[in-house]
Structure 1
Amino acid sequence: MADSTEGDTDVQYLGLLVLALIALIAGLVIYPFIIGVNVTDWWKGRSVTPVDHIVTSLGLSRMCIQCNNILYFFIYPLLWRNRDSLVITLIGLSCDFFSSVNMWLTSLFSIVLCLKISNFHTRLFLYLRGVIVHRTVYLIGASILLSAVYSLITLLLTVTKNSSGGTYNTTMANAMTNCIDSDYAYHFTIGVSSPLLAYSISSVLLFSSLYHHTIKMKMSSNSSINLETYYSVMKFVSITFIYNTVYFICYICCILHYYVYCVNPAWLYIVLDFLTVLHSFYLIYKTAKLRSQMSKVLQNVTDFLFQRKDTEIRENIEAVDL
């Protein structure tokens, strides 16, 4: 029975590793493309909007998350008996850091969109629009700094816990008492709820603003007004809100599962990887510049493949004639 159980575990791990590699390959195609397009525009002196800065930073953080996760898949089987090892701790902290950066940048992305698109005219809203939209680069740096502070506090809590004699126990009987800690719970709640609250408020405000604006335009006497653009933006906000909500829920489940059972749920991290890949692909689809460049890349690849195929056919025909 032990051999059968061990074999099933190996098969499950191999399956998860294959899925992780598929997500990694997809991510290494999409994320560098997003980064490359915006960096090329900046290098050539073309206009780069605040949204472009955030999307580029999002692509970089998500690429780092996937590389970190695939590293964990290869390292963890070698060091699973020593979960307090420095390597496992650093990988876990880097995963928390990049995940926090991703969440803060996603929230910042929603806030900037809300300020740029919404038609509120209050003094506070106009002031925030002038301050935030024109200082996006500094806010990206602030998001990274907040995530670094969050990870540093996690490291200090871990060091304090280990130095006081708290060690991880692999038995399920003691998992509840050894892995979960009230300090971790408070720290985790604050670290996750802050970007989630900011994102939720900005998304609801943006959607409500667009919704009320479309209602007013429908009631107006001008029937030639095209509302497709507004509907498209509302759809984009809704899908992004659903993605971000699911991502937050999965991330919370990952952390709670680890603190309760002392085991990282690998399949949930793979789900997070696929979620970020799908959302990044959706960003490419909804962004005109990225969509245009992607079409050019696909067209060049198609032309190259067909040209190579035609060359091979022509060479085969010449060989037969000879």
Structure 2
Amino acid sequence: MSGKVEDILMLLAAGEFSLGILGNAFIGLVNFMDWIKNRKICSIDLILTSLAISRISLLCIILLDCLILVLHPDVYAAGKQMRIIDYLWTLTNHLIVWFATCLSIFYFLKIANFIHPLFLWMRWRIDSAIPRILLGCLALSVFISLPVTRNLDDDFRRCVKIKVKMNLTLRCRVNKAQYASIKIYLNLLTLLPFSVSLISFLLLILSLWRHTRRMQFNATGYRDASIEAHVKAMRAVTSFLLLFIAYYLAYLVATSSYFMPETELAVIVGELIALICPSIHSVILILENKKLRKACLKVLWKVKYILQRRNC
């Protein structure tokens, strides 16, 4: 890559990284301070905090990988560093998807209006089950990510990263096939939580439609609190689904880049797109959450006040 292209890509990566870190750190800090103040944390705040921490970790891993590829590509020759980054990226990737799915399910159970016994039982149990569910997501993500560390020796890494010509053509071809099968398997596993989020979204639409019909039939106010809650939850879930699709495609590009002619460029472009999801979705969550939105406005007001005093 040319120097100008590298500078532009790194500038974009730094901007997306900064936005993501600020947004997710703000979510975690506000919820943590509220936890210290009230000596307890509600389920939604626990989910948002866990999601924010996992996204901060993912952002740091992606930016680190991007910096290494641009500034010190030879670091990957040893293989060990790339193996660690591959594992951590896969781990945080699955954590984010599962935590976001937990958020979608929580919105559905708390906002939807159904009278099925199973739904009512799940709504009653969800608050007490959230900590165990989040720990289960962590354990599952760790277990799922373990195959990344297998069958990825140094010879394969030298072939796909450094493009060194050596008498290992057959071995590289075999290792590439193994690596591709592992990546396909791991990518397919993320479709399970995505499908759960999609089902939650569709059920929210059904609940909103039924509630709207009921309100119209009873000739009462059309825009009541339940409809507003449905709309806000649907916006949050819809944004996650759309951003997840973009992130998933970018993740595929980045992880399959080992088989492309311009490996470094493919990885960086994929990572730039991947950075959008944890960055933009954190901003959407802040805007959709009343407590976070108020805290954000308070911080912005204080910053504006300080800047005005300095200019005087």
Q: Provide the TM-score with structure 2 as the length reference.
A: 0.85
- Residue of structure 1 equivalent to 2:87: 93
Q: Name the structure 2 match of 1:17.
A: 10
**Residues of 1 paired with 2:158 and 2:217: CA distance?**
63
The answer (yes or no) to whether the contact 1:168–1:178 under 8 Å persists in 2 is no
Choose from 166, 180, 196 the match for 2:177: 180
Q: Does 1:169 align with 2:159?
A: yes
**Aligned twin of 2:147:** 153
1-side partners of 2:157 and 2:239: how far apart?
Answer: 42
Contact 1:116 1:133 in 2 (8 A): no
Change (3 A) 1:224 1:21: closer
Note the C-alpha offset of 1:184.
0.9
CA distance in 2, matches of 1:199, 1:233: 12
User: For 1:44, what is the secondary structure of its paired residue?
Assistant: helix
2:118 corresponds in structure 1 to 124
Tell me by how many angstroms 1:288 deviates. Answer: 0.5
Q: Distance in 1 between matches of 2:78 and 2:194?
A: 30
Residue 288 of structure 1 corresponds to: 290
What do residues 107-156 of structure 1 show as CA deviations (whole Å, max 9, x unaligned)?
11111111111112222222222333321111111111111112222213
Structure 2: how far apart are the matches of 1:225 and 1:293? 26
Q: Confirm whether residue 212 of structure 1 aligns to residue 214 of structure 2.
A: no
Task: Select between 272-281 and 288-297 the one with higher mean Cα deviation.
Answer: 272-281
Moved more, 261-270 or 44-53: 261-270
Q: Is the 8 A contact 2:111 2:230 kept in 1?
A: no
Q: Which amino acid aligns with 1:57?
A: S
Find the structure with the greater CA-based Rg.
1
1:69 equivalent among 43, 46, 62: 62
| Aligned 8 A contact 1:176 1:260 in 2 | no
Q: Which residue of 2 aligns with 1:275?
A: 277
Percent identity between the two aligned chains: 23
Separation in structure 2 between the aligned mates of residue 239 and residue 72 of structure 1, nearest angstrom: 26
Q: Any stretches of 5+ residues in structure 1 without a counterpart?
A: 1-7, 311-322
User: Which of structures 1 and 2 has the larger relative contact order (alpha carbons within 8 angstroms, sep 6+)?
Assistant: 2
Aligned to 1:169, the other structure's residue is in SS state helix
TM-score (norm 1): 0.82
Give distance in 2, aligned partners of 1:176 and 1:200.
Answer: 37
Native 8 Å contact 2:55 2:278 kept in 1: yes
Change (3 A) 1:88 1:185: closer
What is the Cα deviation at residue 224 of structure 1? 6.1
Aligned Cα RMSD in Å?
2.7
Residue 112 (str. 1) matches residue 106 (str. 2): yes
Equivalent residue in structure 2 for 1:305, among 299, 304, 307: 307
Q: Does 1:102 align with 2:96?
A: yes
How many pairs align?
299
SS for the counterpart of 2:244 is helix
The corresponding residue for 1:193 is 191
1:242 equivalent to 2:242? Answer: yes
Deviations 1:80-132 (A, max 9, x none): 47445211211121111111111111111111111111112222222222333
- Equivalents in 2 of 1:211, 1:46: separation in Å? 39
- Give CA deviations for 1:4-53 in whole Å, capped at 9, x if unaligned: xxxx5332222211111111221222111111100001011165321111
Note closer, same or farther for the CA distance 1:242–1:190 as it changes in structure 2 (3 Å cut).
Answer: closer
Shift in Å, 1:256: 3.5
Alpha-carbon spacing, 1:9–1:303, altered in 2? closer, same or farther (3 Å)? same
- Contact 1:203 1:241 (8 Å CA) reproduced: no
1:238 is displaced (CA, Å) by: 2.7
Contact (CA 8 Å) 2:246, 2:273: kept in 1 or not? no
Measured in 2, the distance between the counterparts of 1:136 and 1:13 equals 43
Gaps of 5+ in 2: none
Contact 1:172/1:261, CA 8 A, preserved across alignment: no
